[in-house]
């Protein structure tokens, strides 16, 4: 009698079903995680609270997730905090988000920096208030020598703006004779993005059930694994993060090969 014929029908099915691992393989962590933190407004609405309460809860959630990623040994996290399109929201909400970001950057010097996090802002700074621009410079300098996770806060960020700025810079260099058209390569373009010098995200997480990229890291996400969850961002826990990483580790990444 073979080993298989001793199994009942149900056991047989179980035997062949790929068992979902319940623990993270620490040898196969994503180096870089991108996060579209969506659903703050709906989280607040469900509770009869103003949208600002959702953003505040979202900022708290972010701190927990960054701390957990750092402890796990993930090297980079990029979070979409304010897009180039978010200016079209009501002024009250934009002002609230800007104040929250300012406070977050200030606090980060005491909290996240104490955890050895390197904080960087990516996006177009010119449209931000002088106060925020100055705070970004301070927080970046204050955390520059840390050795833990690099946290890119995408602030007034849009991938099309990022690519347009990069292309303009490259065209300018060609015009000045510093490089030739033949020097333009995918590596050169990558190096001119806000994330220049960093690895591309291995994993993108988007919360709240929306399945789109919304102008986030369009170049860098070319070969990233996508993880979409219905959880609203303020409800997204460290356990949810672990589930996303476990799912990422089950994927067979081929980068266009076989």
Q: Contact between 153 and ligand FPP (CB under 6 A)?
A: yes
Work out which of 30, 32, 34, 40 binds ligand FPP, going by CB under 6 A: 40
Which residue in 62, 69, 77, 117 binds ligand FPP (CB under 6 A)? 62
Q: Is 86 a catalytic residue?
A: yes
Among 51-59, 122-130, 160-168, 235-243, the segment contacting ligand FPP (CB under 6 A): 51-59
Asked if 37 is part of the footprint of ligand FPP (rule: CB under 6 A), the reply reads: yes
For ligand FPP, which residue of 33, 74, 77, 101 counts as binding (CB under 6 A)? 101
Using CB under 6 A, pick the residue from 33, 53, 59, 241 that binds ligand FPP: 59
55 binds ligand FPP (CB under 6 A): yes
Interface segment toward ligand FPP; rule CB under 6 A; list 57-65, 69-77, 167-175, 197-205: 57-65
Using rule CB under 6 A, residue 66 touches ligand FPP? no
CB of 42 to ligand FPP, least distance (A): 3
Q: 22 φ, ψ to 5°?
A: -105, 0
Print the SS3 string covering the chain.
CCCHHHCCHHHHHHHHCCCCCCCCCHHHCCCEEEEECCCHHHHHHHCCCCHHHHHHHHHHHHHHHHHHHHHHCCCEEEEEEEECCHHHCCHHHHHHHHHHHHHHHHHHCCCCHHHCCEEEEECCCCCCCHHHHHHHHHHHHHHCCCCCCEEEEEEEECHHHHHHHHHHHHHHHHHCCCCCHHHCCHHHHHHCCCCCCCCCCCEEEECCCCCCCCCCCCCCCCCCEEEECCCCHHHCCHHHHHHHHHHHHHCCCCCCCC
Counting contacts by CB under 6 A, is residue 39 touching ligand FPP? yes
Q: Does 156 bind ligand FPP (CB under 6 A)?
A: no
Using rule CB under 6 A, residue 81 touches ligand FPP: yes
The number of beta carbons lying within 10 Å of the beta carbon of residue 107 is 14
What is the x/- site pattern for ligand FPP, positions 3-32, by CB under 6 A?
------------------------------
Among residues 20, 40, 105, 34, the alpha carbon closest in space to that of 69 is found at 34
Residue nearest to ligand FPP (CB): 41
**Residues catalogued as catalytic:** 38, 86
Residues at the interface with ligand FPP (CB under 6 A): 37-42, 55, 58-59, 62, 81, 86, 100-101, 104, 153, 208, 233
């Amino acid at each position: 009698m073979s080993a298989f014929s001793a199994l009942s029908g149900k056991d047989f099915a179980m035997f062949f079903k790929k068992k979902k691992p319940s623990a993270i393989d620490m040898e196969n962590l994503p180096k870089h995680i991108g996060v579209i933190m969506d659903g703050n407004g709906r989280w607040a609405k469900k509770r009869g609270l103003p949208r600002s309460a959702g953003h505040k809860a979202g900022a708290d959630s972010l701190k927990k997730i960054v701390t957990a990623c750092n402890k796990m040994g993930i090297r980079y996290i990029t979070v979409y905090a304010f897009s180039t399109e978010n200016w079209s929201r009501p002024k009250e909400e934009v002002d609230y988000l800007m104040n929250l970001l300012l406070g977050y950057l200030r606090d980060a010097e005491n909290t996240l920096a104490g955890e050895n996090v390197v904080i960087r802002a990516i996006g177009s700074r010119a449209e931000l208030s002088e106060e925020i621009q100055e705070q970004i410079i301070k927080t970046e300098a204050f955390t520059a020598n840390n050795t833990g996770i690099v946290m890119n806060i995408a602030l007034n960020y849009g991938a099309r703006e990022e690519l347009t700025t990069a292309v303009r810079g490259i065209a300018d260099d060609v015009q000045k004779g510093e490089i030739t058209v033949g020097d333009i390569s995918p590596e050169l373009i990558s190096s001119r993005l806000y994330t220049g010098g960093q690895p591309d995200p291995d994993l993108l997480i988007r919360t709240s059930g929306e399945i789109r990229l919304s102008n986030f890291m369009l170049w860098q996400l070319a070969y990233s694994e996508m993880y979409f969850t219905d959880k609203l961002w303020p409800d997204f826990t460290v356990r949810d993060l672990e589930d996303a990483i476990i799912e990422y580790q089950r994927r067979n990444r081929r980068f266009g090969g076989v």
